Amino acid sequence: MSRLPPLNAVKAFEVAARVGSFALAAVELGVSAAAVSQQVRHLEDFLERKLFVRTGNRITLTDAGHAIYPQTSRALNDIAAMTTRILEGDLHSRRLVISVPFSLAETWLAPKFSALLEVYPQLAIDIRVEDDPVDLVRHDIDIRVSYGDYHYPGLEAIHLVRDEVIPVSTPEFWSTHGNSEFDLAQIPQDLFIHTHWGVSYASGPTWHDWFSLISSNRYPDPKQGVRCGLSSLSVSLARLGLGIALGHKLIAQADLEAGRLIALSSVSLPLGHPYCAFVPAAKTGRKDISRMIELLGQ
Report whether 15 contacts 25 (CB < 8 A): yes
Contacts of 116 (CB under 8 A, 6+ apart): 96, 123, 125, 288, 291, 292, 295
Claim to verify: residue 169 and residue 153 sit in the same structural domain: no
Q: State the average pLDDT over residues 104-124.
A: 85
Of 87, 121, 143, which residue is a domain's last?
87
Structure confidence at residue 22 (pLDDT): 93
Structure confidence by residue, pLDDT tens digits, 36-83: 999 999 999 999 999 999 988 889 999 999 999 988 988 888 787 777
Claim to verify: residue 255 and residue 191 sit in the same structural domain: yes
- Is the pLDDT confidence value at 89 over 90? no
Report whether 39 contacts 9 (CB < 8 A): yes
Claim to verify: residue 174 and residue 256 sit in the same structural domain: yes
Claim to verify: residue 74 and residue 213 sit in the same structural domain: no
Provide the number of structural domains found in the chain.
Answer: 3
Cα–Cα dist 118/28, whole Å:
39
Claim to verify: residue 196 and residue 245 sit in the same structural domain: yes
For residue 26, the domain's CATH number is 1.10.10.10
Claim to verify: residue 132 and residue 169 sit in the same structural domain: no
For residue 244, the domain's CATH number is 3.40.190.10
Domain containing residue 61: 7-87
**Residue 2 resides in a domain:** no
- Is the pLDDT confidence value at 90 over 50? no
Position 4 confidence tier, pLDDT thresholds 50, 70, 90:
confident
Structure confidence at residue 87 (pLDDT): 60
DSSP state of 107: I
CA 56 to chain centre: 32
Structure confidence at residue 111 (pLDDT): 83
Claim to verify: residue 75 and residue 110 sit in the same structural domain: no
In percent, the amount of the chain with pLDDT more than 90 equals: 61
Residue type, 135: D
Residue type, 220: P
**Residue 139 resides in a domain:** yes
Claim to verify: residue 156 and residue 288 sit in the same structural domain: yes
Q: State the average pLDDT over residues 243-262.
A: 95
Structure confidence at residue 76 (pLDDT): 86
